[in-house]
Structure 1
């Protein structure tokens, strides 16, 4: 759209672009679910909202998730500090197992 506003003798009219409305059921029926799976995009936030309202089961999300990257964090410390941290970890682990 080139001109967003049209002036008339009684005022002006503004053109507003409409967002496209997708008929998902018709797309799946005409093009098939493989087309939707190949070219579609999932918005994780919307999917989580639909799971929360009960439209989809929670298992749907975990069944199709794929781990892409696992970040690791390393801490450089002295051997004494590492031993203290390890002993504290072992002590806490023994407390929790009792």
Structure 2
């Protein structure tokens, strides 16, 4: 999604939805698909309530289901390094 305008943000808000910048990484067998982009989330999504400098990571697993971690207000470099470390550990 590109070129989001104010009208789209207002329309989402009126429908109890928000645009969030979301990165995802999915592993299927030996293939990994990673992407980052805007995602429209509804109020039932755990990512909906994360605002400001807070960050969230949602893991979907085949054994325990969904695990969500909502973190503090660290800067983007520290948060990115932490997420990258988690992804590397998962793939090891």
For Structure 1 versus Structure 2, the TM-score category normalised by the shorter chain is: under 0.3
Query: What TM-score do the two structures reach when normalised by structure 2?
Result: 0.25
Query: What TM-score do the two structures reach when normalised by structure 1?
Result: 0.24
Structure scoring higher RCO (CA < 8 A, sep ≥ 6) equals 2
- Which structure features the higher share of helix residues? 1
Max Rg structure: 1
- Which structure features the higher share of strand residues? 2
